[in-house]
């Protein structure tokens, strides 16, 4: 337990320093942030980095403890006393399962809320909209103001405020949903009036009244308090992601307009594909939050036999091996996220692949180590 706490503190400190140096230190140097704000940012960052530090710490401490346990011949002494490796590892595996519950709470609720509060604090530090940018590849949420509409905005590419493949979901009175699709557009930020001005070209609009299209569609969105209320799906809680998925739901058939559009079927297909891609991106994030919560158990299961085997061969590389395994685990997650626009590959299921590999491989190695193979 002491080894777990120490390694967790080390990883948390390293990740905190990395985030502070990248995002907060320039604001402090430029005089845009006070030391009090930096302290608040540090506190808000802790749960966010803790979600990553906990599985890494569990893997590293397991490798080091069982590696030393084997190197000091204590495992041999335990076996001579009739105690199996499974009996010795059972409390550690139970601890790994308990930490999965802690990770789930942090990943799905605590860390996203703290991250949103941290981003709000960064906007307060900047006190300007000059750095506001619509991200690529996933939607952002602009919550409703008083007596106003809420918007979710997605774009596949953003180059100097010029957008490609834009999809907007507009919600009125929390019930009426309108979706707008455009192959291109651009936006400007009015820093004086805290407004976002968007201009979409060749748009297609799906509203409760039907499917219509036009050459240009202007949009004005209030960015309250310097845009601090924009929320990315990567910073949403599990419940918010479920609500967002229902908002972008593509399961309902899209009606064809009887208006002037000469190609209603083509417009309908493009809208349907855009909604499918967006729903899949949100679904990937949902599965990522849940799947990543089980990383502690997979790392524990594979760390016990690997620690024993490595130190039997007198290769003291516990920390390096832990970092390598973590890199392999995150590679699968990154690949799954990068394929979020390719629904045919089911990228949301890829979030579970590293867990299955680590747990299956770890179970086999633990069984072999228990038998002395």
pTM of the model: 0.73
224-234-206 Cα angle (round to 5): 70
- Give the CB-side neighbour count of residue 308, counting CA atoms within 13 A: 23
Same domain flag for 221 and 94: no
Quickly count: other Cβ atoms within 10 Å of residue 88's Cβ.
Answer: 17
Beta-bridged to residue 243, according to DSSP, are none
Residue 194 located in a structural domain: yes
Convert the pLDDT of each residue in 225-247 to its tens digit.
Answer: 444 556 778 888 888 888 888 87
The residues near 65 (Cβ < 8 Å, ≥ 6 apart) are 3, 307
Both structure tokens of 241: 């992601």
Quickly count: other Cβ atoms within 10 Å of residue 76's Cβ.
Answer: 11
Number of domains in the chain: 2
Report yes or no: 194 and 221 within 8 Å, Cβ to Cβ.
Answer: no
Report yes or no: 222 and 148 within 8 Å, Cβ to Cβ.
Answer: yes
Residue 94 located in a structural domain: yes
Both structure tokens of 296: 């502690």
Question: b/e map of 237-276 (b: 16 or more CB within 10 Å)?
Answer: beebbeebbebbebeeebeebeeebeebeebbeebeebbe
For 3, counting Cβ atoms within 10 Å of its Cβ (0-12 exposed, 13-18 middle, 19+ buried), the class is middle
Same domain flag for 83 and 146: no
The residues near 252 (Cβ < 8 Å, ≥ 6 apart) are none
Give the end-to-end CA distance of the chain in Å, rounded to a whole number.
Answer: 28
Helices 35-71 and 295-312 cross at an angle (nearest 10°) of 40
Same domain flag for 31 and 72: yes
238 vs 29: CA distance, rounded Å: 36
Beta-bridged to residue 189, according to DSSP, are 196
Same domain flag for 274 and 290: no
Convert the pLDDT of each residue in 36-89 to its tens digit.
Answer: 777 788 888 888 888 888 998 888 888 888 877 777 777 778 777 778 888 888
Same domain flag for 313 and 189: no
pLDDT in tens, the chain (373 residues): 677 788 878 888 888 887 777 767 666 666 656 677 777 888 888 888 888 889 988 888 888 888 777 777 777 787 777 788 888 888 888 998 999 999 999 999 998 888 888 877 776 655 555 567 788 877 787 765 545 677 888 888 888 888 888 888 888 766 677 888 888 888 888 777 777 888 888 888 877 777 777 888 787 777 654 445 567 788 888 888 888 888 776 544 444 444 445 555 666 676 677 777 778 888 888 999 999 999 999 999 988 888 887 764 444 566 677 788 888 888 888 888 888 777 888 888 889 999 999 999 888 988 888 876 6
Report yes or no: 299 and 359 within 8 Å, Cβ to Cβ.
Answer: no
Same domain flag for 316 and 266: no
Residue 132 located in a structural domain: no
Report yes or no: 34 and 127 within 8 Å, Cβ to Cβ.
Answer: no
Same domain flag for 260 and 150: yes
Identify the CA nearest to 102 among candidates 60, 58, 66, 42. 58
- Domain around 74: 2-127+284-370
Same domain flag for 277 and 360: no
| Strand order across the 231-232 sheet | 210-222, 195-207, 176-190, 162-172, 150-159, 140-142, 231-232
Residue in the structure block whose two tokens are 């949301």: 348
270 vs 156: CA distance, rounded Å: 14
């Amino acid at each position: 337990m002491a080894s777990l706490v120490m390694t967790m503190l080390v990883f948390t400190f390293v990740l905190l320093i990395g985030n502070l140096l990248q995002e907060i230190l320039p604001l402090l140097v430029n005089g845009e942030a006070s030391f009090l704000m930096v302290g608040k940012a540090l506190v808000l960052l802790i749960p966010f980095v803790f979600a990553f530090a906990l599985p890494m710490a569990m893997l590293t401490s397991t490798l080091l403890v069982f590696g030393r346990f084997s190197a000091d011949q204590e495992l041999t002494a335990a076996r001579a006393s009739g105690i199996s490796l499974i009996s010795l590892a059972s409390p550690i595996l139970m601890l790994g399962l308990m930490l999965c519950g802690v990770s789930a709470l942090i990943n799905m609720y605590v860390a996203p809320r703290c991250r949103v509060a941290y981003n709000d604090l960064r906007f307060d530090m900047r006190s300007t909209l000059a750095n506001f940018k619509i991200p690529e590849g996933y939607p952002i949420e602009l919550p409703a103001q008083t007596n106003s509409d809420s918007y979710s905005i997605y774009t596949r590419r953003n180059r100097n405020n010029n957008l490609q493949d834009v999809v907007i979901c507009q919600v009125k009175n929390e019930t009426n949903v309108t979706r707008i699709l455009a192959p291109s557009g651009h936006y400007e930020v009015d820093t004086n009036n805290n407004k976002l001005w968007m201009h979409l070209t060749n748009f297609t609009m799906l509203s409760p009244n039907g499917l219509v299209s036009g050459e240009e569609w202007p949009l004005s969105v209030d960015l309250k308090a310097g845009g601090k209320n924009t929320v990315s799906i990567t910073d949403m809680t599990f419940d918010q992601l479920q609500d967002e998925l229902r908002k972008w739901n593509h399961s309902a058939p899209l009606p064809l307009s009887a208006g002037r559009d000469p190609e209603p079927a083509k417009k309908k297909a493009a809208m349907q594909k855009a909604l499918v891609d967006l729903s899949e991106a949100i679904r990937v994030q949902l599965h990522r939050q849940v799947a990543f919560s089980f990383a502690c158990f997979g790392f524990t299961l594979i760390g016990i036999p690997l620690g024993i085997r490595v130190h039997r061969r007198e290769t003291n590389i516990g920390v390096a091996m832990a970092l390598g395994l973590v890199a392999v685990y995150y590679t699968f997650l990154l690949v799954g996220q990068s394929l979020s626009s390719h629904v045919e590959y089911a990228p949301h299921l890829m979030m579970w692949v590293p867990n299955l590999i680590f747990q299956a491989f770890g179970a086999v190695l633990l069984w072999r180590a228990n038998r002395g193979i």
